[in-house]
Structures are given as C-alpha cells and as structure tokens.
A = this chain, B = another copy of it.
Amino acid sequence: MRLSRSFLPTLRDTPKEAEIVSHRLMLRAGLIRQQAAGIYSWLPLGKRVLANIERIVREEQDRAGAIEVLMPTLQSADLWRESGRYDDYGKEMLRIKDRHEREMLYGPTNEEMITDIFRSYVRSYKELPLNLYHIQWKFRDEVRPRFGVMRGREFLMKDAYSFDIDEAAARRSYNRMFVAYLRTFDRLGVKAIPMRADSGPIGGDATHEFIVLAATGESAVFLDKEALDAPVPGADTDFSGDLTPIVSAWTTKYAATEEMHDKSAFEAIPEDRRLEARGIEVGQVFYFGTKYSTPLGAKVSGPDGADHDVHMGSYGIGVSRLVAAVIEASHDDAGIIWPSSIAPYQVGLINLKAGDANTDAACDGLYQRLMNAGIEVLYDDVDGRAGAKFATMDLIGLPWQLIVGPKGLANGEVELKRRATGERETLTLDAAVNRLVAG
C-alpha cells in the first residue's frame, strides 16, 4: 500500500484523555478513533491488526475441532429469562425495546443463545462432542469505560461453547480449548499464562484466565518463575489424544491473579523463583456443567437410552482487547513494536527523496519485488522530512524498515532496520530483498 493512497492519520501530540500506553499509542498511530464513550472506529491500520488476530484465533479454534457459526448481536430477552440471567445481569446489559416494545438486549455473551441452538437440533450423544464458536461484537455497558479498547463497551470477542454427555468428556473439551489458547497466544507473539480464576457471573467450578504479562498490566499477578518455562504445544498436537499432560504442565506451578492469590502457597515457593508481575486478561475458559442446559432443557439421549442434561463449557478470547494487550507487552518510547504475525504490514519502505527520479525508481522496483514475493509493504512515497518519516515508522511499529535514499543508492545500497532491536544493516538492493523474503 502506498502511503499517498492510504489513510493513516497519525497524531503528533499525545491525547490527554488516554491514561495507559496502549491507548495513547493506538490513538497516536491512527489505529482507532473514539466515537462515543467506550465505542471506537477501527482505522485502516487498526483494522488490519484486528483482522490478523481474528485469523489466528480462527485457525486455532478450527484446528482444535471447534466449528464456526455467527450469532447476531441483538438477542431476545425471553431466552435470558429462561436462564434467570435477565434480571441478574444488572446495568452492564444494554437493554433495548424495538418498535413493537419487545424487550431485547445487545448480547454481552451467548450462553443462552447457543444453548437454544443446541437444543433445537441435537438429540443424541452420538452427535457429541460439539464445540461451536463465533467471533462477534458484544456490548457491556461499563459504568466508566476507559483505557481505550482495553475496557471498551462495544468489543470483539471470540466465544466458544462446548457440549458433552458428561463431566469427563466436558473436561476433555476444556483441555482442547486450553491447549488451543496456549497456541493462539503464542502465535500472537505474547506470553500468556493460564491462572486459576474466579468464575464470576458465568458460573462454574473450573476456570482459568489467560494473562498476558506486561509491566503496565491492569492487575498484579504472582508466579512461580517455572510457570514461564512450560513448552507451547506444536502445530502437530493431536487434539483427539490425551491433552492432560500439557494442561498439567501449565497448571501445576503456582500462578494466580491478585483476587485468587494464596499468600502462604506463594511463600512456600523458593524465594528466587517467586515472581510478582503485572498482567492483562486476554482469555478465559470455563467448565460450568449443567448450569444452562438444565434450565433451558438442553438434553440428549445417552447410550443408556435416558435423557441427560449436557455438560457445557465456554471459552472467550478478547479479540479487540488483544490489540491493546499486545501493545502493552510490546512497545518502547518511540512507539509500537508489532509481532510479525499480526503486524499490519511486514515492511515499511521509506523513500527519503520522493520526487527524485532515481530514488523513486529504486523504491518502486523494491515495492514491486516485495509485493510479488507476497510480502505486505507500506510504501512511504510522499514528500517529507526524513526525521518525520522515521518517527512515524517507529510509531506504527512495522517489523522492518527499508530505507532508500540517493546517497546509499549511489553505492547501490539501502538500509534495513529491524524495529524490535533497532539494528541497522547496509545492504545491496538484492540482499535486502532476499533478507526480507527469508523472513
């Protein structure tokens, strides 16, 4: 994409309303624009990151055997009356009346609706296990939305729901999602640690939060350092096999958020392995048994011929929140440092003398060669000061900067900068292209 034909409105000044670094950087880098309290538009660069995260989340859900559907944003109040949550949910639920005065709501989550879908179609244990997920906008009417998309009101979430014949099978479904989450967050370029958590309004007796470690995180976390070293399961993981060993490896070492913190258990860990850090919740997995299936009548006939209320779990990932969480975990004073897997573009190609025929030709050629190799390039082809161009590229945080000016070209050379480390190399044009193609 040529900068001259794109829409990347970066801000020079730090917006006053932004209290945390990810919010400041998302506004400054032109990723989002606030439209109302806690409600944001995603500008082109932000939309690309969001789509990349969505793609990785989807791939790992599919790999783990979950099946994608798409439920609507608005729901009928009737379903929520069946589960008893319509009255329980409080003011965070956005309640709406349509033109016929029918009571509706903007879904904050989808346990009721997915259970309704399940009970409409599934009759036999032979159709289980079943795990349905969707990636859809949700709304929670936070009393004081803040921190940008970290605690917005309208937010994008992946939520999956598993259905099983009994608790043992449901624990296997839970483990599949647990392992999918380890892979997902690893691919997104963040270190996320599963921690025992409180089940909150979803209910249930087994639940883990996945917490991204970031110095600027919202909550304190307490860890055995060895919890950081468990290996991430590979792409060849057999999701039909026994995943208990993987889950155990990630859950036996001490790791807890502040609210679940057990001081004496923590202090039983050798002192040099105790880590107090900060983190951001980016996902949560729940097993909640028959909490929804019983009131909503979601049952299947079992091998014994009798009806059984299905055992359910739900599994959320905060897709839009992750954009902010990744930035909290990966930035410096100059701006964002995108992990390659979700960067809006891989390379920022900087023309230091736009308008100069030679420099333009060299840049146009590099742009074409990189695009032909399938590399996504943001090509700064506009006339401007070098310092401003460098600052903008650092701010938006693409993994590589390819810097092309008349001086270097006189020697047949360009400069390649790696954003994460600041390392710079002077290379021939061919060598630079080869380096970028190699990844």
Contacts and interface: CB of A to CB of B under 8 A. Distances in A.
A69 B154 CA distance: 16
A408 to B, nearest CB: 28
A40 B121 contact: no
Given A99-B141, A130-B7, A74 B154 contact: yes
Given A5-B65, A7-B67, A36-B102, 15 more contacts: A30-B121, A33-B117, A33-B120, A35-B72, A35-B116, A41-B69, A41-B71, A41-B113, A43-B69, A44-B68, A50-B70, A73-B154, A94-B99, A98-B153, A99-B141
Contacts of A72: 35-36, 39-41, 137, 154
A40 B98 CA distance: 16
Interface string A36-77: 110111111001101000000000000001011111111110
A47 B72 CA distance: 12
A96 interface: yes
Copies of this chain, how many? 2
B117 A75 contact: no
B96 A96 contact: yes
Contact of A7 (B36, B75, B132): B132
B139 A36 contact: no
Contacts of A132: 7
11 contacts: A9-B122, A30-B121, A35-B71, A35-B72, A36-B75, A40-B72, A41-B70, A41-B113, A44-B67, A44-B68, A73-B73
Contact of A139 (B74, B75, B94, B116): B74
A30 B82 CA distance: 25
Contacts of A94: 96, 98-99
Interface string A134-165: 10010101010000000001100000000000
Interface of A: 5-7, 9, 30, 33, 35-37, 39-44, 47-48, 50, 65, 67-76, 91, 94, 96, 98-99, 102, 104, 106, 113, 116-117, 120-122, 130, 132, 134, 137, 139, 141, 143, 153-154
Contacts of A134: 47
B99 A35 contact: no
A71 B41 CA distance: 4
A96 B74 CA distance: 12
Contact of A68 (B47, B106, B116, B154): B47
A190 to B, nearest CB: 22
Contacts of A71: 35, 41-42
Contacts of A5: 65
**Considering residues A30, A74, A121, which has the most beta carbons from chain B within 10 angstroms of its beta carbon?**
A74
Contacts of A98: 94, 141, 153
A405 to B, nearest CB: 23
Given A7-B130, A96-B94, A47 B73 contact: no
Contacts of A6: 67
Contact of A137 (B43, B65, B73): B73
A86 to B, nearest CB: 14
Contacts of A106: 74, 96
B36 A104 contact: yes
Contacts of A69: 7, 41-44, 47
Nearest to A152: B72
A67 B69 CA distance: 27
Contacts of A143: 99
**Considering residues A35, A44, A68, A154, which has the most beta carbons from chain B within 10 angstroms of its beta carbon?**
A35
Given A6-B67, A7-B132, A99 B104 contact: no
Nearest to A92: B99
Contacts of A113: 35, 41
A30 B69 CA distance: 11
A105 to B, nearest CB: 10
A36 B74 contact: yes
A124 to B, nearest CB: 12
A72 B94 CA distance: 15
